[in-house]
């Protein structure tokens, strides 16, 4: 068998195999193929109508897309412009915020300093209030002391005035007595003068006031004191001096301190005899 024949046979077999499905389909297809064809034609017509409608919808959507694109471009431009404006404003606000932060830091520092100053002033005020209270208390004590000293000064002044008056009177009497003594000393002989009679019982008293050589005692004529009497002044076991009586009252006498050994003091004792 030639090659051509073999090739023809192979092609024939292939064609037969390819034609088998067609033969089978033709054998199984319904006899009313015209109705099926009409149905296919109607379906194709409907599909074509749908395709036209879809094309119109696609065209309308395309127009809307173009319109939206144009609108979007304008809106995007406006948004970009507004975004640029917002960026500028944001930069300005950031600068303002930085300035406010700096100002806030300065204010916080000032507040801290003011708080520290306030605490120091509060402590100083409390200290001053304490010192003021202490000063007021001290002032009140000083006022009380001043009133006491004022009363004491008044009493002392009254006593000093009284003693000054006594001293004046004693000085006048002393001057008179000294004048009399000088007169008597000139007129009498050298014979010793008779001593005044001493009282039968010793008289004791206390110095009540001292001013220079003048002194007063708390005994007088009621106790037997007479002018020119000498009283012994003593302090404990110490001899102080003599008090020569110049003025005598009922319950008080005054005179001159003579023969002093110690400085007489208020409260020293006096007596007519130490026996």
Q: What tens digit of pLDDT does each residue of 72-91 get?
A: 777 878 878 888 888 888 88
Domain count, the chain: 1
Whether residue 28 is contained in a domain is answered as: no
Residue-level pLDDT at 38:
82
Residue-level pLDDT at 157:
78
Whether residue 53 is contained in a domain is answered as: no
Q: Tell me: the pLDDT tens digits for 207-251? A: 999 988 899 999 999 999 999 999 999 998 899 999 999 999 999
Q: What is the mean pLDDT of the chain?
A: 80
pLDDT > 60? residue 260? yes
Whether residue 137 is contained in a domain is answered as: no
pLDDT > 80? residue 193? no
Over residues 120-131, mean pLDDT: 87
Q: What is the CATH number of the domain that holds 274?
A: 2.40.10.170
Residue-level pLDDT at 226:
93
Q: Tell me: the pLDDT tens digits for 157-190? A: 776 766 666 666 666 666 666 666 666 656 544 4
Torsion sign, CA atoms 270, 203, 205, 253: negative
Whether residue 249 is contained in a domain is answered as: yes
pTM above 0.75, yes or no: no
Whether residue 207 is contained in a domain is answered as: yes
pLDDT > 70? residue 64? yes
Residue-level pLDDT at 237:
87
Over residues 23-37, mean pLDDT: 62
* Structural domain boundaries enclosing 271: 203-275
Confidence of residue 27 (pLDDT cuts 50, 70, 90): low
Whether residue 257 is contained in a domain is answered as: yes
Whether residue 239 is contained in a domain is answered as: yes
**Which segment of 12-26, 105-119, 203-217, 237-251 scores lowest on mean pLDDT?**
12-26
Whether residue 68 is contained in a domain is answered as: no
């Amino acid at each position: 068998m030639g090659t051509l024949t073999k090739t023809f046979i192979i092609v024939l077999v292939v064609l037969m195999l390819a034609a088998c499905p067609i033969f089978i389909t033709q054998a199984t297809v319904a006899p009313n193929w015209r109705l099926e064809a009409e149905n296919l034609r109607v379906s194709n017509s409907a599909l074509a109508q749908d395709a036209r409608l879809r094309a119109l919808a696609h065209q309308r959507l395309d127009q809307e897309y173009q319109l939206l694109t144009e609108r979007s471009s304008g809106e995007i431009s406006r948004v970009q412009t507004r975004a640029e404006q917002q960026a500028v404003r944001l930069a300005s606000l950031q600068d303002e915020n930085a300035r406010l932060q700096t100002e806030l830091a300065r204010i916080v520092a000032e507040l801290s300093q003011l708080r520290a100053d306030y605490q120091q002033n509060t402590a100083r005020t409390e200290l001053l209030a304490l010192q003021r209270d202490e000063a007021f208390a001290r002032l009140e004590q000083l006022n009380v002391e001043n009133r006491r000293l004022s009363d004491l000064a008044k009493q002392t002044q009254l006593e000093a005035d009284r003693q000054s008056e006594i001293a004046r009177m004693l000085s006048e009497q002393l001057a008179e007595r000294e004048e009399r003594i000088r007169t008597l000393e000139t007129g009498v002989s050298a014979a010793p003068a008779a001593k005044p009679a001493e009282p039968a019982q010793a008289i004791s008293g206390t110095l009540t006031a001292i001013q220079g050589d003048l002194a007063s005692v708390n005994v007088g004529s009621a106790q037997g004191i007479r002018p020119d009497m000498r009283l012994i002044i003593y302090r404990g076991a110490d001899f102080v001096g003599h008090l020569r009586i110049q003025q005598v009252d009922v319950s008080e006498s005054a005179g001159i301190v003579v023969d002093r050994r110690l400085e007489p003091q208020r409260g020293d004792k006096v007596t007519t005899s130490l026996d």
